[in-house]
């Protein structure tokens, strides 16, 4: 077996194993505590500015995480847990707002900004470079 073929085969095996590991992590069974952590990462702490209750050290966030754990233990779905907190704290309690008519601008504004940036970059690249004629140099 040639050296280049051996390197290609080793690279393919490495990539294959990496794919198996990533798929196993993504698809793998999650524990209820993992689910509580994931839900807590999507709920905003009412005390801290823009911080999730899973990451906040405040007493309020700790109490809210306990409620999330209770709701998961009761068998509520993710949407039901989010709705529980939305009813009590309002729509702003979720770090990732739902895709609804009233939040449409929130979702489309970043896309519009990226699109505008791409257009500006493309225009700059297409603009002809200023030329200097021989008369201007004299």
Let me know: does 54 contact 62? Beta carbons within 8 Å: no
Q: What is the pLDDT of residues 62-115, one digit of tens each?
A: 999 999 999 999 999 999 999 999 999 988 888 887 677 777 787 788 889 999
Q: Looking at the predicted structure, is the pLDDT value of residue 134 above 70?
A: no
Identify the pLDDT of residue 101. Answer: 75
DSSP 35-101: HHHHHHTTBB-SSSSS-BTTT--SHHHHHHHHHHHHHHHHT--HHHHHHHHHHHH-GGGBSS----G
- Whether the CA torsion 82, 87, 88, 89 is positive or negative: it is positive
The per-residue pLDDT for 138 is 53
Instruction: Return the pLDDT at 125.
Output: 77
This prediction has a pTM of 0.56
> In which band, very low, low, confident or very high, does the pLDDT at 133 lie, cut at 50, 70 and 90?
low
Q: Are 98 and 106 in contact (CB under 8 A)?
A: no
Cross-strand partners of 69: none
Q: Is the dihedral of CA 92, 57, 42, 115 positive or negative?
A: positive
Report whether pLDDT(126) > 80. Answer: no
- Is residue 26 within a helix (H) or strand (E), and if so which, with residue range? helix 3-27
Question: What's the mean pLDDT when you consider all of the chain?
Answer: 85
């Amino acid at each position: 077996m040639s050296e280049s073929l051996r390197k290609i085969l080793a690279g393919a095996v490495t990539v294959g194993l990496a794919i198996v590991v990533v798929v196993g992590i993504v698809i793998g069974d999650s524990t209820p505590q993992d689910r509580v952590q994931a839900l807590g990462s999507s709920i905003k702490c009412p005390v801290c500015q823009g911080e999730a209750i899973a990451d906040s050290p405040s007493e309020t966030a700790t109490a809210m995480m306990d409620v999330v754990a209770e709701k998961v233990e009761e068998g509520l779905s993710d949407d039901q847990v989010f709705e529980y907190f939305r009813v009590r704290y309002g729509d702003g309690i979720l770090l990732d707002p739902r895709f609804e008519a009233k939040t449409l601008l929130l979702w489309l504004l970043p896309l519009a900004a990226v699109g505008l940036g791409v257009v500006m970059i493309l225009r700059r690249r297409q603009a002809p470079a200023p030329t200097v004629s021989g008369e201007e140099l004299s």
